Each structure stands twice: as structure tokens, then as C-alpha cells.
């Protein structure tokens, strides 16, 4: 059994004296693990950094085996973000969140969105909003999409400013006003405004929104919690918002 694909490193952990278990997110094979011989060595450690794009060849005697990877670096990212602590934290958070995607299950649309997110990571004015949009896409792709197109109470498509924490549906200003303390605020960049127009407060609200549903529908279902890096990212963005 073997396949070839390009993929993005999610994680790499030491295995034995010199090897590493590589967790790769690929377009056609999904989230897929494999052993990299020599992966713990100095040269390969720099290659197997989260966010780096690799060309990979996976082989195993049987499809259910862990298998081995042979990889080559296609595009580095981690090194390009070394001077931006917040972007590095976001990269760690995205990698950890992506780890909830079922193993060996292809999600091409989610992979394409992940590539877009990583390509924006060097633009501090854009990536925070794209991060939230990508998490919304992840929820959608895994069957827990939010309906932000119409009011859950009235069916109206106008003046949508809240989201119900129970249904994940938008709520209009008029219908939600009496209950606004129990609703999430719906940031404008999630219903039409440009990502570059999102304020820190908008992004912080967006992260609260997606974090709630990620925890509820995906992580809790596997008896896990939202990753620490994702929680720290939300706290950092909220602190910047004041």
C-alpha cells in the first residue's frame, strides 16, 4: 500500500531513539500519521515543524498499519513567523484544532481553506478573521454548521447581530434584544464584511462563538477539551481588544 500527496505538518513527536511520528494533513488522504525514520535528527526537526508544507510518500504493508513517510520540504512557514509570537500561537492553535478531524478521512474543502489560512499568516490585519472563518468551515465540514443567513425566530435575513448558543442560528436585533445577555454577538465579518475590516473585538467575539461550538460538538464528543493553544489565542486576542 502506498500513496503520494502534498500535506501540511500538524505535529511530529519523537518515536524511539531517532524516529518521529508525523501527523500530516493532506488534501486527498486527510489527516494521516506515519513514521519518519531519522525524524528526530537536527535536519529533519526543522522540516517537520507545524505549518510546513511537505511532499510525502507513505508506504505500508497493509492499509491499517502506521506505515512510513518519506518527505521533502515544499514550503516552510514556521520559520517565517518566528518574529510574530501571536501568529506562531495561532499556527499552534490551528494545528491542534485540526487534530480533531477524523483520521484518514479526506476533506478537500477543509484542506483548501487551511492552505488559505496559512497563506495569510504573515498579514496580521487579515489572518485573525480568516482563522475564525476557517473554524466555521471546519464545523460545517464535519456536520455542525451554523446558520448565519436568517433569524431563527423570525426568518428575516436583515439586521442579524446575535447567535443562539443552543441552535447555532443567527438572531435579528429586534428578536434578540430581550435575551442579548444570553446570546453571542455576531461579528460583521462573518456575514459579509471584509476580513481586513474586523477589529480585535470582532475577532475575539468570533473566537468565543466558534470555540463554544467546537467544544460542544467536536471536542466534548471525544472526551477532550478545546486545545490549550486555542484557549490562549482567544485570551490574547481578547486582551488586545481591551
Place 175 in a pLDDT band, splitting at 50, 70 and 90: very high
Q: Does domain 2-76 have CATH number 3.40.50.2300?
A: no
Residue 197 confidence (pLDDT): 82
CATH number (1.10.3710.10, 1.20.810.10, 1.10.150.130, 1.20.1440.120) of 81-241 reads: 1.20.1440.120
Residues 6+ apart with CB under 8 A from 53: 6, 7, 8, 9, 73, 74, 75, 77, 118
pLDDT digits (tens, 9 = 90+) for 6-30: 999 999 999 999 999 999 999 999 9
Place 209 in a pLDDT band, splitting at 50, 70 and 90: very high
Checking if the pLDDT of 1 tops 90, the result is: no
Distance CA 11, CA 51 (A): 9
For range 31-42, the mean pLDDT: 95
Checking if the pLDDT of 196 tops 90, the result is: no
Domain with CATH 2.40.50.140 in the chain: 2-76
Checking if the pLDDT of 108 tops 80, the result is: yes
Mean pLDDT of the chain: 95
Amino acid at each position: 500500500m502506498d500513496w503520494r500527496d502534498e500535506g501540511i505538518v500538524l505535529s511530529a513527536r519523537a518515536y524511539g531513539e531517532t524516529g518521529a511520528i508525523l501527523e500530516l494533513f493532506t488534501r486527498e488522504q486527510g489527516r494521516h500519521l506515519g513514521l519518519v525514520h531519522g525524524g528526530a535528527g537536527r535536519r529533519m526537526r526543522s522540516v517537520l515543524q507545524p505549518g510546513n508544507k511537505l511532499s510525502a510518500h507513505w508506504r505500508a504493508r497493509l492499509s491499517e498499519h502506521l506505515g512510513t513517510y518519506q518527505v521533502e520540504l515544499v514550503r516552510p512557514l514556521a520559520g517565517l513567523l518566528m518574529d510574530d509570537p501571536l501568529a506562531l500561537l495561532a499556527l499552534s492553535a490551528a494545528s491542534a484544532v485540526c487534530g480533531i478531524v477524523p483520521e484518514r478521512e479526506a476533506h478537500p474543502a477543509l484542506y483548501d481553506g487551511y492552505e488559505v489560512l496559512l497563506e495569510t499568516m504573515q498579514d496580521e490585519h487579515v489572518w485573525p478573521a480568516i482563522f475564525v472563518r476557517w473554524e466555521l468551515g471546519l464545523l460545517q465540514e464535519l456536520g455542525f454548521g451554523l446558520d448565519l443567513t436568517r433569524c431563527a425566530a423570525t426568518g428575516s435575513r436583515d439586521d442579524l447581530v446575535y447567535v443562539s448558543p443552543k441552535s447555532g442560528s443567527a438572531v435579528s436585533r429586534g428578536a434578540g434584544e430581550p435575551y442579548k445577555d444570553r446570546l453571542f454577538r455576531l461579528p460583521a465579518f462573518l456575514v459579509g464584511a471584509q476580513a481586513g475590516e474586523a477589529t480585535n473585538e470582532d475577532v475575539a467575539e468570533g473566537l468565543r462563538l466558534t470555540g463554544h461550538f467546537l467544544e460542544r460538538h467536536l471536542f466534548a464528543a471525544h472526551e477532550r477539551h478545546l486545545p490549550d493553544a486555542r484557549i490562549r489565542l482567544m485570551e490574547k486576542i481578547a486582551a488586545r481588544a481591551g
